[in-house]
Amino acid sequence: MSDTRLDEMREQYLKFDKEHPEVWDMFARFSKEIISKGYKNYSVKAVFERIRWEKDIGGDGINQFKLNNNYTAFYARKFMDMFPEHKGFFRTRTQTSEDKKATKQEPLRPAYFNSFISKLKGAVA
């Protein structure tokens, strides 16, 4: 069990990355596509939003996972580690979660959001 929030998020990211290798494939492909257009820097959040778009709209419309924003820093760093010629493409900051205690909470899953949306629909009806 993790002591710091950074360790906790890293463990969650590693688990997610292993369970959903298609996300890494899309992340690397979209990042390289942006680089090929001549960009020297770009937003990791924008790449995540494109992945969300492709999974929701370009896919079968049924998304089996939620792409957690906590993972952006880890994907950005992984990309620059895997492709050192693009070091600095994503601007990163010091991960301040290193100084915070772990929450001991699991990341939210699609079932949580489906339940939440059902409750909202019931309240509006």
Provide the domain limits for residue 36.
5-124
- Distances 103 to 6, 58, 89, 115 between C-alpha atoms, Å: 10, 34, 31, 23
Q: What is the predicted pLDDT for the residue at 4?
A: 81
Total structural domains in the chain?
1
pLDDT in tens, 56-104: 776 655 656 788 898 999 999 999 999 999 999 999 867 655 555 555 6
pLDDT in tens, 29-65: 999 999 999 999 999 999 999 999 888 776 655 656 7
Instruction: Please provide the size of the chain in residues.
Output: 125
Q: What is the DSSP string of 36-63?
A: HTT-S---HHHHHHHHHHIIIIIS-S--
